[in-house]
């Protein structure tokens, strides 16, 4: 009986440790959603990209999302701490003009939250990639601010 | 002896749950269409990566309902799909569309803090999601508990929206994109129906009409998604119906004036000042015609 108890405890510990430290995927959204504060969640994208291979272009992933004039959007992303990559999000309008990016190149600085009061409704493209092409896992979140 | 009794009680509880589950399953009819298996091979359709990218171009119902609420449009219970209709949906085609419809109604009710009234709609969501084998994405116990107070609206919206979001990704990954597209179509149809039939006033009419006009682009994308399943008679009929709505949207003109955005940074937050403008030219008559056309489509979907 004691043997079973020890075995059960070990399995439980391994499983709960796995849950605590593996942030990539839906668990990351649960951690990240605290950043919403008063904003209302509308969309998230899990992002997992490999490291850039030598001679290859920077791995990135893009999604389209309609943004409506009159709404202010709160946009942010969270990195999974067990991966080296720091995520960068860039937003382009439907003419493919760059509207904003979360990374200030000159200052080598990441901006944690973007507020975007939209006055041109349309389908915007959200692109995500990791700084210096490192391997990374993140979640990007778009919400409507009050 | 005591130990045996405990085991017996546990077994009886498990058996009880099993029987209850079976009975619940018997109350709902099996799908009378073969939609789940209709599109596996051979059909010409967009690839999953393209569908994943495009399906999010159908706006979340929260966007338009937030604008309705913020501009002072009064809540109207009459606009919702009656909760009792759920028993009439016997095909996966109807179930997927109406999962989108009821999901939109749920968000509309929550935005207006009619949380207590949402309980039946939550139950409908559960039934339809269960029929479509995607019930795992909604935490109904928590949703039911949170819906007891209007203070929890943001949490309810978060759970509902993340549920729809994960469900859509799952369906595409499981090669059931057609179900994901139908759910999105249902949400869009219901959102447009609510926006075009909600009682506006002189003060908010122009804003609402412009937001309605902007749906022209969304409909184009939705039709593009649906057209890849046009060989199915149900899809084909829905596309034909939506084409009558598109015909009315052809009278809407949208022009864009692009100007470089300005960026302000304060307390670690980047604020984008959008200097671009979209100008939507839509007449009252066009809004009326769009309202009539979408009502025909929507009533066919929910009947």
* Ranges of each domain in chain B: 36-254+284-302
φ and ψ at residue B231, rounded to 5 degrees = -75, -10
Q: Which residue has the higher pLDDT, B14 or A50?
A: A50
Chain A residues inside the 8 Å CB shell of B268: 111-113
- Closest-CA distance, B133 to chain A, in angstroms, reads 19
User: Under an 8 A CB cutoff, do A93 and B276 touch?
Assistant: yes
User: Under an 8 A CB cutoff, do A100 and B263 touch?
Assistant: yes
Q: Cβ(B107)–Cβ(B65) under 8 Å?
A: yes
User: Under an 8 A CB cutoff, do A38 and B217 touch?
Assistant: no
User: Under an 8 A CB cutoff, do B214 and A99 touch?
Assistant: no
Taking only residues 61 to 90 of chain A, the set having a beta carbon closer than 8 angstroms to any beta carbon of chain B reads 62-66, 68-71
A10 pLDDT above the threshold of 70: no
A144 pLDDT above the threshold of 60: yes
Please name the member of B59, B207, B269 whose beta carbon is closest to the beta carbon of A70: B207
Exposed/middle/buried for residue B41 (C-beta within 10 Å: 0-12, 13-18, 19+): exposed
In which element (H, E) is residue B16 found? helix B2-27
- Tokens found for residue A124: 């915007």
A9 pLDDT above the threshold of 80: no
Residue where the block lists tokens 């995520």: A87
Chain B residues inside the 8 Å CB shell of A29: 162
- Tokens found for residue B60: 């979340």
User: Under an 8 A CB cutoff, do B269 and A112 touch?
Assistant: yes
- Nearest chain B alpha carbon to A118: B274
- What's the pLDDT score for residue B12? 52
Q: Compute the distance between CA of residue A30 and CA of residue A20 in angstroms, rounded to an integer.
A: 12
Residue where the block lists tokens 């649960």: A30
- Closest-CA distance, A64 to chain B, in angstroms, reads 6
φ and ψ at residue B182, rounded to 5 degrees = -65, -40
- What's the pLDDT score for residue B197? 98
> Which conformational region is residue B42 in: left (phi greater than 0), alpha (psi within -120 to 50 degrees), or beta?
left
Q: Compute the distance between CA of residue A113 and CA of residue B268 in angstroms, rounded to an integer.
A: 7
- What's the pLDDT score for residue A2? 59
Exposed/middle/buried for residue B257 (C-beta within 10 Å: 0-12, 13-18, 19+): exposed
Q: Compute the distance between CA of residue A141 and CA of residue B220 in angstroms, rounded to an integer.
A: 25
Range A81-106 average pLDDT: 93
- What's the pLDDT score for residue A1? 55
Q: Cβ(A138)–Cβ(A47) under 8 Å?
A: yes
- What's the pLDDT score for residue B4? 62
User: Under an 8 A CB cutoff, do A95 and B214 touch?
Assistant: no
Chain B residues inside the 8 Å CB shell of A95: 256, 258
Q: Compute the distance between CA of residue A145 and CA of residue A123 in angstroms, rounded to an integer.
A: 19
Residue where the block lists tokens 């066919």: B300
Range A119-143 average pLDDT: 94
Q: Cβ(B16)–Cβ(B217) under 8 Å?
A: no
Please name the member of B53, B57, B278 whose beta carbon is closest to the beta carbon of A69: B278
- Closest-CA distance, B54 to chain A, in angstroms, reads 6
In which element (H, E) is residue B48 found? helix B48-55
Chain B residues inside the 8 Å CB shell of A38: 154
- Closest-CA distance, A53 to chain B, in angstroms, reads 22
What are the tens digits of pLDDT across the range B195-251? 999 999 999 999 999 999 999 999 998 999 998 876 788 899 999 999 999 999 999
- Tokens found for residue B253: 């003109």
- What's the pLDDT score for residue B117? 84
User: Under an 8 A CB cutoff, do B162 and A69 touch?
Assistant: no
Report residues of chain B scoring pLDDT below 50. Answer: 15-27, 37-43
- What's the pLDDT score for residue B50? 79
The verdict on A27 touching B (C-beta cutoff 8 Å) is: no
User: Under an 8 A CB cutoff, do A119 and B274 touch?
Assistant: yes
- What's the pLDDT score for residue A67? 92
User: Under an 8 A CB cutoff, do A66 and B218 touch?
Assistant: yes
Chain A residues inside the 8 Å CB shell of B3: none
CA distances in angstroms from A97 to A81, A94, A123, A127, B115, listed in the order given: 32, 7, 12, 13, 41
Cα A61 off chain centre by: 11
Domains and CATH numbers, chain A: 23-145 (2.60.120.380)
- What's the pLDDT score for residue A125? 93
- The SS3 assignment for A105 reads coil
The three-state (H, E, C) secondary structure of B218-285, written as one string: HHHHHHHHHHCCCCCHHHHHHHHHHHHHHHHHCCCEEEEECCCCEEEEECCEEEEECCCEEEEECCHH
The verdict on A55 touching B (C-beta cutoff 8 Å) is: no
Non-local (6+) Cβ contacts of B204 within 8 A are B71, B72, B73
Q: What is the DSSP letter of B30?
A: P
Q: What is the DSSP letter of B303?
A: -
Taking only residues 114 to 143 of chain A, the set having a beta carbon closer than 8 angstroms to any beta carbon of chain B reads 114-123
- What's the pLDDT score for residue A103? 93
- What's the pLDDT score for residue B28? 54
Range A2-21 average pLDDT: 49
- Nearest chain A alpha carbon to B111: A40
Mean pLDDT lowest for which of A3-7, A55-59, B166-170, B231-235?
A3-7
């Amino acid at each position: 009986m004691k043997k079973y108890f020890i075995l059960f405890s070990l399995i439980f510990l391994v499983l709960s440790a796995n849950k605590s430290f593996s942030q990539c995927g839906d668990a990351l959204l649960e951690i990240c959603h605290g950043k919403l504060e008063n904003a209302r969640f509308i969309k998230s994208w899990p992002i997992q990209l490999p490291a850039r291979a030598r001679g290859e272009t920077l791995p990135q992933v893009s999604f389209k999302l309609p943004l409506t004039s009159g709404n202010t959007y709160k946009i942010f992303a969270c990195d999974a701490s067990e991966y080296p990559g720091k995520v960068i999000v860039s937003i382009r309008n439907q003419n493919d003009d760059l509207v904003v990016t979360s990374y200030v190149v000159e200052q080598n600085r990441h901006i944690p939250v973007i507020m975007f009061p939209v006055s041109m409704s349309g389908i915007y493209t959200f692109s995500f990639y990791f700084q210096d092409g490192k391997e990374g896992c993140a979640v990007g979140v778009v919400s409507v601010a009050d | 002896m005591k130990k045996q009794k405990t085991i017996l009680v546990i077994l009886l509880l498990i058996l009880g749950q099993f029987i209850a589950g079976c009975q619940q399953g018997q109350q709902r009819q099996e799908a009378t269409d073969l939609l789940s298996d209709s599109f596996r091979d051979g059909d010409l359709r967009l690839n999953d990566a393209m569908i994943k990218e495009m399906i999010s171009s159908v706006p979340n119902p929260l966007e338009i309902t937030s604008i309705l609420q913020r501009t002072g449009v009064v809540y109207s219970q009459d606009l919702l799909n009656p909760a009792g209709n759920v028993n009439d949906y016997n095909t996966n085609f109807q179930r997927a569309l109406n999962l989108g419809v009821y999901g939109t109604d749920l968000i509309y009710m929550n935005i207006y803090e009619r949380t207590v009234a949402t309980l039946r709609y939550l139950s409908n969501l559960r039934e339809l999601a269960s029929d479509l084998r995607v019930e795992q994405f909604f935490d109904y116990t928590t949703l039911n508990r949170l819906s007891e107070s209007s203070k929890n609206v943001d949490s309810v919206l978060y759970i509902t929206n993340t549920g729809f979001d994960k469900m859509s990704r799952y369906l595409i990954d499981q090669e059931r994109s057609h179900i994901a597209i139908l759910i999105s179509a249902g949400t869009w149809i219901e959102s447009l129906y609510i926006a075009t039939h909600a009682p506006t006033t002189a003060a908010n009419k122009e804003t609402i009409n412009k937001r309605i006009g902007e749906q022209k682009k969304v409909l184009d994308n939705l039709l593009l998604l649906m057209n890849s399943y046009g060989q199915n008679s149900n899809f084909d009929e829905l596309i034909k119906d939506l084409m009558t709505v598109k015909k009315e949207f052809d009278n809407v003109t949208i022009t864009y004036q692009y100007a470089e955005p300005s960026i302000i940074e304060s307390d670690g937050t980047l604020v984008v000042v959008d200097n671009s403008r979209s100008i939507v030219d839509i007449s009252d008559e066009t809004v009326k015609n769009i309202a009539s056309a979408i009502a025909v489509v929507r009533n066919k979907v929910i009947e």
